[in-house]
Amino acid sequence: MGQFDNIYWGNIDIYWLSFYIFPEKYLGISYSDFQILSLNMFYQLCEKIGWIWYFKNVCFISDRPQEINKKGIQLHAEGKPAIKFRDGYSSWCLNGVNVPKELAETPTEQLNPEQWLAETNVEIRAQFICKFGVDRLKKYGKSIEKNDVYELMDMNNLFKKRNNQYTPFLFMRNPSTGTIHCEGIIKECKTIEQAINWRNQIEGTPNILT
């Protein structure tokens, strides 16, 4: 297909095109006819497209999204895609994290903790907790030990179909963001200190709980 050689990038080029079009339109600065034609044609193109990729004899142009949903500056939408294109391609995000369609579109009250148990991605698990509700999730467990940042809980009630044993999870609050996520801990951990040591693969008492 030939060497990939982008000089322009599509919609992202709007900023510098505007920089050069503004003086001609509003400050009376004269450009050549070719310069005016080139700037305006490319500006009009970039208004209507997304990204553009140049190859030898081939140019790929992507469509702009039909719909973009955000919370603040982060992609976020519940009950629908965060980004949707006209051909149906979509991306689902909660608080800037790409998540499965089922998590984003399932109403909060219909979420099943089994979805959380089956998820292996830490960031997606954290978003499940945010949507499902920490307090609601903790109702399935029994608190073993708690402090300002951590809580060790026995979540055996969620696993009764699989076993009937002590099943510890360490709930952790990020001090800077307030986000809470949790990790499964080996059953030998009976205290927060033991859980943190196991998580950080150290022995003894940690100098700082992180």
Burial status of residue 11 (CB atoms within 10 A of its CB: 0-12, 13-18, 19 or more): middle
Amino acid letter at 191?
Answer: T
* Most confident of the ranges 8-12, 15-19, 153-157: 15-19
Distance, in Å, from the CA atom of 92 to the CA atom of 35, rounded to the nearest integer, reads 41
Q: What is the value of pTM for the model shown?
A: 0.69
Closest-CA residue to 95 (of 136, 122, 123): 123
Q: What is the pLDDT of residue 74?
A: 96
pLDDT in tens, 164-177: 688 899 998 887 77
Distance, in Å, from the CA atom of 203 to the CA atom of 210, rounded to the nearest integer, reads 15
pLDDT band at 148 (very low <50, low <70, confident <90, very high): confident
Side-chain-facing half-sphere of 157: CA atoms under 13 Å: 10
pLDDT band at 163 (very low <50, low <70, confident <90, very high): low
DSSP notation for 73-137 = TEE--SSS-SEE-TTS-EE-EETTEE--HHHHHS-GGG--HHHHHH---HHHHHHHHHHH-HHHH
Q: Are 116 and 125 in contact (CB under 8 A)?
A: yes
pLDDT band at 208 (very low <50, low <70, confident <90, very high): very low
Report whether pLDDT(137) > 70.
Answer: yes
SS3 call for 156:
helix
Q: What is the mean pLDDT of residues 181-207?
A: 80
Q: What is the mean pLDDT of residues 44-54?
A: 90
Q: What is the pLDDT of residue 152?
A: 95
Distance, in Å, from the CA atom of 80 to the CA atom of 116, rounded to the nearest integer, reads 20
